[in-house]
Chain A
Amino acid sequence: MSNEKITDAAMNGALDGFEAASAAAEIDNSLDFDDDPLSATGVSRKSLVIFFLIDTSGSMKGKKMGELNTVMEELIPEIRRVGEADTEVKVAVLTFSTDVRWMYSTPIPIEDFEWARLRANGVTSMGAAFKELSLRMSRNSFLNSPSLSFAPVIFLMTDGYPSDDYREGLKELQSNSWYKFGLKAALGIGNEANDDVLAEFTGSKDTVVHAYSGGQLAQMIKIIAVTSSQIGSKSMTLSDDTGREIGEEDVFAAKQKLLGQQIQELVGSQVEESDVPFDTGW
C-alpha cells in the first residue's frame, strides 16, 4: 500500500501568511544591525499534539476516576521529559460523558500544562467525542503550528460500551488525514469495556490494552502515554537493514507498528498485581 498524500484541504493552506525567502539573499545592511551571529531564536521545533480522549461517564465514578486523576497528574512531568528534545509537545484533553468537553480550549504546551481534576457523571457519548475530535484535528483548529508537525498521538480511555452510535463518529474520524497518520492507542478499564470497539478505533489489537485494577490502570496509562509520546515525538528510526533501497511501502505506518510492539512488550513484562479488581469487594 502506498502512503497516501495528505489531502485534508486545510493542510494545503500551510504556507498562507508565510513568504518564501528566495529574495532574502539581497543584502541590505545599510541600516540594519540585527546581525549578531549569537542572537538566535530557538531552532524551529517540530510539534506533536497528544490527544487524550477520556470517558467521564457515571460508571467511572470513585476509584477509577480517582486513580485516573492521580496518574494523569503524575504523568505530565514524565511526558515533559520526552518533549525536552527538539519537539514541542502539546496536550489536549477531550472528555466525554453525556456531553463532550475539552479540558482547555486549545492544546497547551506540556511545560505549562496543569491537570484539572475530572469528575464522572452521565452516559458514554463516544461517537460524539470522535466527531468533535475530527472537527478539531485540522490545520485551522488545534493543529495550527506554523512549522512541521508530527502526526498526533490519540489515546482513548473508556470503561464502558458507547451509548451512542460510535460507528458513525468513527467513520467521520477515519476520513481525517491526521487520524489516519496518527498514533492511536486505547485502554479499556474494567470488565465492561469492549476491546473490539477499541481495536476498531486504533486499527489494531496490538495498541489496545486492558486494566482490571487500580494498580494496572496507573501502569497502563503510563506505559501507553510515555511510549506513544516517545515514538510520536521522534522521527522514524530505520527499519531493519533490508539490503535494498527502502520504499514508501516499507515505512508506511512504521511508527504505529512500533507502538504496538512496544506496548505489547511492556504490558507483557508487567507483573500481575494482587490488588483487588474494580468489580469485586462490593
Chain B
Amino acid sequence: MVELEIGQEVEMEFGGKAQVLSVIGSGGQGTVYLVRFNGMKWALKWYDIDKMKKPKAFRKNLETNINDGPPSNKFLWPKYLTKEAEDGTFGYIMELKPDGFDSFVDILNTYKLEIDPLTGHAVKRDVKFTSLTAMITAVINIVNAFRQLHRAGKSYQDLNDGGFFINVNTGAVLVCDCDNIAPDGSNFGIGGKPGYMAPEVVRGIAQPNVQTDKYSLAVVLFKLLFRGDPMEGEKVVRDVCLTEASELKHYGQNAIFVYDPNDASNRPVRGIHDNVIKFWRIYPDYIKDAFIRSFTTGIDEPSKRIIENEWQKLFIRLRSEIIMCGCGRTNFTSMFVQPNEKTFKCPKCGMEFATLGFSNRDSRMPLYLGCKFYECEITPESDDFTTVAGELVENKLKPGVLGIKNCSERMWKAKMPDGTFYDISPGKGFPIWQGLEIDFGGITAKI
C-alpha cells in the first residue's frame, strides 16, 4: 500500500491537483485525508489497492456513481476521481462532513473523545439527542435515505454504524462511505460488519443486495432506539469470548432475536443489556411488531423484511405520538394513561391532553404546546416529513388561549366556536375547542 505524505499532490482525473493536508482517519479499505483542491478543502479517500479484490471494476462502479449523482442531499457522495498512480492505486474526493454532525458510533456510545493535541489526553464529551422528536426524525431520515437509494436501483452493501452522521439537535442525517454503493445484484468485494450483516451474508450464501440492506437497516434502527444489539442476549453472552466461530453462529447460522416471542433462549441480560430491557417496554406494539418481524421471519425470508416505506410510515406515526408534558416528562402516548379513547393523561402529574383524529388514519395525535404536524400528515400522497404544516401555539394577544397555527402555504378551513367554518390563511390560526373540525383540503381532522 502506498500511503500519501503530508504536502504530497495527487493528480485528479480531469486535471488539477489535490494537496494532502492531514490524515482524517483510516479504515478497512484505505485512508481518508484532508486535502485542498481548487482552493477548497475536501476529504480524499485513498484506497489500499492490495486489499481490493477487483480494483478495476470498483473504480468503474465509482465512476458510474459519480456520474449518476447522489439520490438526495442526504448523501456525502463521491465527487471526483483521482488519476491512477503507477501501481494502479487511486482515490476519490468528497465533501467534508459539515459541523454539527456526530457519528452514529459516538451517539451509541453517548460520548465522544476529544484528544488534547498537546498532551494526548482524551476528554469525554456527551453526544445525546436533545429531544425525542430529533431522535425519531433521525430515524425517519435514515429510512428515507435508504428508500431513495433503493429506488435508484442501488444497494449500500455494508450498512453499519460507521455509515452515518447525525445532527442530534435536528435529526438531520448524512450517509457517508458511499463508495461501496453498487447496482442491486453487483458486489465489488465488500462483505460488511458482523452484527449488521444479514445472516445469509454472514453464512456466505448470499452477497450484499437490497434485501440484505433491509436487514442491516433494521439493525441500525434497533440500535438507535433500543441501544443494544438485537441478537446479543443470554445465549450469546454465555459464550463470553467472541471467537470467529461464535460470531458465525450467533449472527449467521443460529441468530435469535432477543425478544423472539417463540424462543426465549436469548433474552437480554440484566446488568449488560439494561437499555434494551428498559426501552422495549416503552415503545408501542406496532413498532415492536415491526422489529419482531424483521428479526424472526425476516432472518430466513429476506422478502418478508420490512420495506423502507413501511418503516417511514410507522415512524411518522410514532413522531406524531410524542407528548411533551408540562411536568417535564416526554414520552410516547403508549406510556401515558388513556382515560377515554380521545384523551391521554400523564401518569406522573395528571395533566390531560386532548387529541386530534385525522380522516386518513386511525391513530390520534395528542395536542400539547409546541406540538407540530407535517405536510405528509395533511396532504394525500405527500412524502414531505420535514416541512412543518401546523403547530400548537399560545395566542400572542390572548395569553392562555391555545390554538393551531397554519404554517403551510395553503388555505385551510376550521370550525370556530360560533359553529361556522372560516378560511384560515397561511400564518393565521384558530383556537382549540370542544367541537373543533379542520379541513386541510382533502384530509380532515376533528377533536
A84 touches B191 (CB 8 A): no
- Residues from chain A with a CB closer than 8 A to the CB of B223 are 43
A238 touches B204 (CB 8 A): yes
Instruction: Give the contact stretch, choosing among A147-155, A166-174, A206-214.
Output: A147-155
Instruction: Give the contact stretch, choosing among B6-14, B104-112, B395-403.
Output: B104-112
Name A33's contact: one of B50, B115, B204, B329 (CB within 8 Å). B329
For B53, the closest partner residue in chain A by CB is A240
- Residues from chain B with a CB closer than 8 A to the CB of A234 are 193
For B191, the closest partner residue in chain A by CB is A238
- Residues from chain A with a CB closer than 8 A to the CB of B245 are 3, 248, 251-252
- Residues from chain A with a CB closer than 8 A to the CB of B242 are 46, 148-151, 235
Name A246's contact: one of B1, B195, B203, B264 (CB within 8 Å). B203
Given contacts A15-B237, A77-B120, A252-B244, contact A236 B109 (CB under 8 A): no
- Residues from chain B with a CB closer than 8 A to the CB of A25 are 280-281
Determine if A105 is an interface residue (Cβ-Cβ < 8 Å): no
Determine if A22 is an interface residue (Cβ-Cβ < 8 Å): yes
B270 touches A21 (CB 8 A): yes
Determine if A38 is an interface residue (Cβ-Cβ < 8 Å): yes
Name B270's contact: one of A12, A18, A252 (CB within 8 Å). A18
- Residues from chain A with a CB closer than 8 A to the CB of B330 are 36-38
- Residues from chain B with a CB closer than 8 A to the CB of A44 are 228, 272-273, 275
Contact mask B210-244 → A, CB, 8 Å, 1/0? 00000000000001010111001110111111111
- Residues from chain B with a CB closer than 8 A to the CB of A20 are 233-234, 267-270
Determine if A272 is an interface residue (Cβ-Cβ < 8 Å): no
A237 touches B191 (CB 8 A): yes
- Residues from chain A with a CB closer than 8 A to the CB of B105 are 84-86
Interface centre among A38, A146, A177 (most CB of B within 10 A): A38
Give bound CA distance, A139 to B238, whole Å. Answer: 12
Give bound CA distance, A81 to B50, whole Å. Answer: 23
List B337-381 residues whose CB lies under 8 Å from chain A. 347-348
Contact mask A1-23 → B, CB, 8 Å, 1/0? 00100100001101101111110
- The total of Cβ contacts below 8 Å across the A-B interface reads 202
Determine if A274 is an interface residue (Cβ-Cβ < 8 Å): no
A34 touches B278 (CB 8 A): yes
B238 touches A14 (CB 8 A): yes
- Residues from chain B with a CB closer than 8 A to the CB of A246 are 202-204, 248, 252
Interface of A is mostly: loop
B227 touches A40 (CB 8 A): yes
Interface centre among B53, B227, B228, B252 (most CB of A within 10 A): B227
A255 touches B329 (CB 8 A): no
Contact mask A209-245 → B, CB, 8 Å, 1/0? 0000000000000000000000000111111111111
Determine if A254 is an interface residue (Cβ-Cβ < 8 Å): yes
- Residues from chain B with a CB closer than 8 A to the CB of A280 are none
Instruction: Give the contact stretch, choosing among B94-102, B128-136, B307-315.
Output: B128-136
- Residues from chain B with a CB closer than 8 A to the CB of A37 are 132, 135, 225, 279, 282-283, 330-332
Given contacts A85-B162, A236-B194, A245-B203, contact A6 B270 (CB under 8 A): no
A236 touches B247 (CB 8 A): yes
Name A86's contact: one of B108, B187, B278 (CB within 8 Å). B108
Counting from the closest, the 8 A-B pairs by CB-CB distance are A238-B191, A3-B245, A246-B204, A235-B194, A251-B244, A40-B227, A236-B244, A43-B108
Q: Chain A residues in contact with chain B, CB under 8 A?
A: 3, 6, 11-12, 14-15, 17-22, 24-25, 27, 29-30, 33-38, 40-46, 76-77, 80-81, 84-86, 111, 139, 146-151, 177-178, 181, 234-246, 248, 250-255, 265, 269
